[in-house]
Chain A
């Protein structure tokens, strides 16, 4: 039996321990805010925080998630008012929106580590998150706004 915490709630799982955390969240817990884009750690759509660190949930098995604290987009802020979410709204970042849960989780982790990121920091932290709609420029602006640094 695998025990873990998802958005502060204790959970138990007795299915296939090799199941990626992504599919546990999506198919078992019905928490579909975390998206499937590539399944192999190449796109970032599935990004969640594991013990505070941005992690590709498609590439972490349930066995590896055991005992960890998982934070998903649904739990990022009680009212969708995390500074990153607010900046995302103020800058109208999403186009189709599909990649944005992952982008927001990645950006939130970045700002925790580097509250005043440079363009280079943003490139480094965000290059694992593909946006096929091409919202990168808006993403960069929103991160800077959330960080309170000059665009």
Chain B
């Protein structure tokens, strides 16, 4: 099967391209994903580029834009290989459709997974345009070269524009992958250059619609009172006062998900329907509901923390082992132990969950800010009794996502209401709804133990991490599963190693948040290595380089459960993303250099901390400078980050991701905490779930990207994990106080 083939203009592409356009589709399954979740997508075409007879190039982006710049970056890749003139490229957002392959915009995977397919799609179209010109001129194709939206015949200098070639190009056989030549990096036109995001003008003028801005004629507005406790049900509702609110027309009950498995489904509750958002909000305040709260009404964060910590003190399930840590501990002369804790965190994207649904004659159209439009289809369909292909999901811009908007519960709510009311409905979550009913980042307790040698370096290492599984409200405790998320893939050179996972039960919805388990794991691993270095009385940079040890590739064998984004090899394929300690060491040296490490002494309320972490296939080293004032207040004057993410497509946007990650990481480290009492979340808005503001965020963040032709790594998430440990390590350097429980605002520093 050829990698790229022409598709008919019928079906879901209808309307996008004019008659006579050359349209190409490439299968979306990159090599590294084969044998994993994308297998199902292997037989579906996915990356689309069309060239119109007027020369306009249309590129369809199937990944969601939530601030990374992906709506610009993926088209840059394709346009580059196509030799398209960027000014004549039009970018279209794909609806949800399995034909595109995975659209779930998470795991920092858009460039990792689709860099190559987008290149191939562009290069294939270029090859066909060149072949069309060659046959027109009756010259060998090797003499014809696409350049900036036209094909040029080298010896005669004749030229034909892409538009003029479309009709003939469409008749060309689609070349086989091996006959398509990708450009050499020296010839890149856009890749590696700084290209402003396509939505820039519209955003700064307030013209660009987000999900919150979607509007359909005749639309009603809904606000939903959810059960205050996970799994709770409405016992009795009195809506008489609510219905008196001007603009409120109705209340509608929504069923609570069945059983214990909440997954992507609506929480249930009572919806207030009105003719504007404000009236719906007001009506809700007037509802009187008696709840049947169910078993999670006892969920209490103080008790839960103790439970998890106790579990972490007992042996768990080994997920990766090398050598024999128990034997090593038995004969060790020096052992160091520590416990760490990270509370629940909320995503709190600036745009709360919101969706518009229009149910008509067994078909549903959704407009929503979603990271995963296909999950919208498969969640909405059973909720309203239609087939997934009868759900059309239009993806708007997302006002932030961070993992929250991978879950389409709010879309299902809108669809259920639209079906019941026979009108389009917009469901708007308030900030209070968002914080009470998020898919929270899990609470995690970690126990660490190491034997150290006479130089203070670890020789044996035990890490145990405990947190509940995601997306399951199972009635019994179960394993969260470590994945390759910073705990099994510890890079220090040691003979004996074991990573264990303990069981925990979930009591609220739990989901992934920007960098997922890397948040607690990086916090524990990189705080702990700093504790070992402190015990040895060694300079941190020098110590980290020594702990990283020799240049080598770390294989996650030895009972490793792999998974995650640890890098995928396979029986017949080399792993394009081995864990390479030389890359770690290089960025440690670079960040030390860039931050002026060692030039200023730490102490007296001023200090530097470092952490180096690999996640989502990218290596990140961060140095944080902190100032702790006499009241224990923390200021972060400067962050230095060095990133080795392999090939980088849009460096300016990548640096922005790492600046943003420093702010995100500072928020969670300094002030991030969601708690539960009696099964109810105790935070409600930004006064009691603060996130860093301009005066609290790192004052300046300097990001350096390592120049590299290696396969691209992720960039959306990997900046986050090193921030919290680097801050805490800096606080230790500044004050001598070791903070092992986040957030820092609860620690007594003076």
A residues at B contact (CB < 8 Å)? 15-16, 19-20, 23, 26-28, 30-40, 42-43, 45, 72-74, 76, 80, 85, 88-89, 92-101, 104, 122-124, 126-140
Q: Binary interface profile of B, 24-41, with partner A (CB < 8 Å = 1, else 0)?
A: 000000000000000000
Cβ-defined contact, A101 with B693, below 8 A: no
In the complex formed, the residue of B with least CB distance to A31 is B206
- Taking CB atoms, residues of chain A closer than 8 Å to B204 are 80, 85, 88-89, 93-94, 100, 104
- Taking CB atoms, residues of chain B closer than 8 Å to A96 are 65-67, 349-351, 397-401
Cβ-defined contact, B694 with A140, below 8 A: yes
Cβ-defined contact, A133 with B660, below 8 A: yes
A–B complex contacts, Cβ < 8 Å, 20 sampled: A23-B278, A27-B278, A32-B213, A42-B686, A42-B687, A76-B205, A80-B205, A85-B204, A96-B400, A98-B212, A98-B400, A123-B694, A127-B694, A129-B693, A130-B686, A132-B349, A132-B400, A133-B67, A135-B660, A136-B693
Interface residues of B in 32-86 (CB under 8 A from A): 65-69
Cβ-defined contact, B693 with A130, below 8 A: yes
- Taking CB atoms, residues of chain A closer than 8 Å to B9 are none
B644 at the interface (CB under 8 A from A): no
Q: Smallest Cβ distance from A116 to chain B, in angstroms?
A: 18
In the complex formed, the residue of A with least CB distance to B435 is A38
In the complex formed, the residue of B with least CB distance to A97 is B203
Known: A23-B277, A122-B694, A127-B693. A97 touches B67 (CB 8 A): yes
Taking a contact as CB atoms closer than 8 A, the residue among B207, B350, B652, B695 that contacts A132 in the complex is B350
Interface residues of B in 186-205 (CB under 8 A from A): 196-197, 199-201, 203-205
Quick check: which of B227-235, B531-539, B661-669 contacts chain A, the rest being far away?
Answer: B661-669
Known: A27-B221, A95-B67. A136 touches B203 (CB 8 A): no
Q: Smallest Cβ distance from A63 to chain B, in angstroms?
A: 13
Please, how many angstroms separate the alpha-carbon atoms of A20 and B277 in the complex?
A: 11
Taking a contact as CB atoms closer than 8 A, the residue among B197, B349, B431, B664 that contacts A134 in the complex is B664
Q: Smallest Cβ distance from A93 to chain B, in angstroms?
A: 8
Cβ-defined contact, B196 with A92, below 8 A: yes
Please, how many angstroms separate the alpha-carbon atoms of A27 and B303 in the complex?
A: 44
Known: A38-B431, A98-B400, A130-B686. A72 touches B206 (CB 8 A): yes
Cβ-defined contact, A126 with B207, below 8 A: no
- Taking CB atoms, residues of chain B closer than 8 Å to A89 are 196, 200-201, 204
Please, how many angstroms separate the alpha-carbon atoms of A135 and B350 in the complex?
A: 13
Q: Binary interface profile of B, 467-490, with partner A (CB < 8 Å = 1, else 0)?
A: 000000000000000000000000
- Taking CB atoms, residues of chain B closer than 8 Å to A100 are 203-204
Cβ-defined contact, B656 with A28, below 8 A: no
Count residues of B near A (Cβ-Cβ below 8 Å). 67
B93 at the interface (CB under 8 A from A): no
B276 at the interface (CB under 8 A from A): yes
Taking a contact as CB atoms closer than 8 A, the residue among A20, A39, A73, A133 that contacts B206 in the complex is A73
Taking a contact as CB atoms closer than 8 A, the residue among A23, A80, A95, A134 that contacts B697 in the complex is A134
Cβ-defined contact, B701 with A33, below 8 A: no
B208 at the interface (CB under 8 A from A): yes
Taking a contact as CB atoms closer than 8 A, the residue among A16, A30, A38, A127 that contacts B278 in the complex is A16
- Taking CB atoms, residues of chain B closer than 8 Å to A122 are 694
Query: At the interface, is chain B mostly helix, strand, loop or mixed?
Result: loop
In the complex formed, the residue of B with least CB distance to A104 is B204
- Taking CB atoms, residues of chain A closer than 8 Å to B685 are 38-40, 42
Cβ-defined contact, A132 with B691, below 8 A: yes
Cβ-defined contact, B196 with A131, below 8 A: no
Taking a contact as CB atoms closer than 8 A, the residue among A26, A85, A95 that contacts B660 in the complex is A95
In the complex formed, the residue of B with least CB distance to A36 is B212
Cβ-defined contact, B700 with A137, below 8 A: yes
Please, how many angstroms separate the alpha-carbon atoms of A33 and B196 in the complex?
A: 21
In the complex formed, the residue of B with least CB distance to A141 is B700
Cβ-defined contact, B700 with A73, below 8 A: no
Cβ-defined contact, B68 with A95, below 8 A: yes
Please, how many angstroms separate the alpha-carbon atoms of A42 and B208 in the complex?
A: 23
- Taking CB atoms, residues of chain A closer than 8 Å to B276 are 19, 23, 27-28
Taking a contact as CB atoms closer than 8 A, the residue among A35, A39, A138 that contacts B430 in the complex is A39
Known: A32-B213, A138-B656, A139-B694. A27 touches B350 (CB 8 A): no
Q: Binary interface profile of B, 322-360, with partner A (CB < 8 Å = 1, else 0)?
A: 000000000000000000000000001111100000000
Known: A42-B687, A96-B397, A130-B691. A33 touches B207 (CB 8 A): yes
In the complex formed, the residue of B with least CB distance to A35 is B212
B88 at the interface (CB under 8 A from A): no
What are the 3 tightest A-B residue pairs by CB atom distance, in nearest-first order?
A: A33-B206, A134-B663, A98-B399
B279 at the interface (CB under 8 A from A): yes
Taking a contact as CB atoms closer than 8 A, the residue among A26, A74, A126 that contacts B277 in the complex is A26
In the complex formed, the residue of B with least CB distance to A23 is B278
Q: Smallest Cβ distance from A84 to chain B, in angstroms?
A: 8
- Taking CB atoms, residues of chain A closer than 8 Å to B278 are 16, 19-20, 23, 27
B139 at the interface (CB under 8 A from A): no
Taking a contact as CB atoms closer than 8 A, the residue among B247, B402, B431 that contacts A37 in the complex is B431
Most buried by A among B277, B398, B701: B277
Please, how many angstroms separate the alpha-carbon atoms of A17 and B419 in the complex?
A: 32
Q: Smallest Cβ distance from A57 to chain B, in angstroms?
A: 12
B692 at the interface (CB under 8 A from A): yes
Please, how many angstroms separate the alpha-carbon atoms of A28 and B247 in the complex?
A: 12
Q: Smallest Cβ distance from A91 to chain B, in angstroms?
A: 10
Q: Smallest Cβ distance from B427 to chain A, in angstroms?
A: 13
Please, how many angstroms separate the alpha-carbon atoms of A23 and B700 in the complex?
A: 36
Known: A95-B68, A97-B199. A131 touches B656 (CB 8 A): no
